Amino acid sequence: MTEHKVPPIVGEAEAPIDKLRLGGMALRNGLLVHGPTHWSAAIRGPDGEIEVASGRKPSLGGKRLEGIPGVRGVAKLAEAMAVIPLVKRALPAARLPMQDARTIAAMAGAALLGQAIRSTGGRTLGREAAVGVVSLVPAVLALRGGDLAAYHGVEHKSIAAYESDGEALDAEKEHARCGSNLVAPMLGAAAVGNVAARKAGLKGPVAEAAVALGSAAVAVEVFAWSERHDGTRLARLLRTPGYEIQRVVGTREPSEDQLEVGHAALAEILQVEGI
């Protein structure tokens, strides 16, 4: 782990031909970036200073499972989630997306409302779709309050600028590889899966967990297919819901101070990845 107050600055030298494949997650006061083997995070601390930390990503078998459709996506998502406690340990002042009393209350309320909708009758695609929409409410509330949407914009603009050798200030705040592209296929797969499980006589936490994992696997495969077939009409159609989520509620144009935090996170990931 490394931690320091003053972030390294990316130089003006020509960028390498081969670019790292970067991902990220917006924090309420900063940005987490994933590289192939490491992670980095930068936040604006309570004192106004930028704090930066980085470390090696935990391995949960994602590399070994790359050839197995469905399983590989779940493994990659699990590895991404495993980084979060490492970030909190290195940067205690980092505020996670759902680290807010109002959002936590909304999550509890959404869970209760979802159960109430299901209790009104048998599981149908309509009811399951309604439950899926209700489950999005906490995320929308989290994005609408505070700086989370702006740091989501920082994430996209910083990574896009790196990929195009441009300036983050000029980059679009929407990005084709945003996790919002997982939302529609995941909700659709979950609705179909829950109805099918109930018709097969399967119920309870184990069945629901299996459907949730399966839905995540389907969503990641749809995401990957869209990227492999970038430019096709179907790929554009599949990405439309995610793009609209980003455009309408998921991202906001960040300030220069927020872009500075993103610059620090990007500089750190390039340093620890050896670029």
Q: What is the pLDDT of residues 101-151, one digit of tens each?
A: 778 888 888 888 888 888 887 778 888 888 888 888 888 878 876 799 999
Mean confidence (pLDDT) of the chain: 87
Per-residue pLDDT tens digits for 48-61: 999 999 999 988 76
DSSP 198-240: HHTT--SHHHHHHHHHHHHHHHHHHHHHHHHTTTSHHHHHHHH
Cα 98 from Cα 84, distance rounded (Å): 12
Contacts of 89 (CB under 8 A, 6+ apart): none
Where are any strands of DSSP class E within the chain?
2-4, 23-27, 30-34, 38-44, 50-56
Question: Can you give the pLDDT at residue 178?
Answer: 92
pLDDT at 1: 44
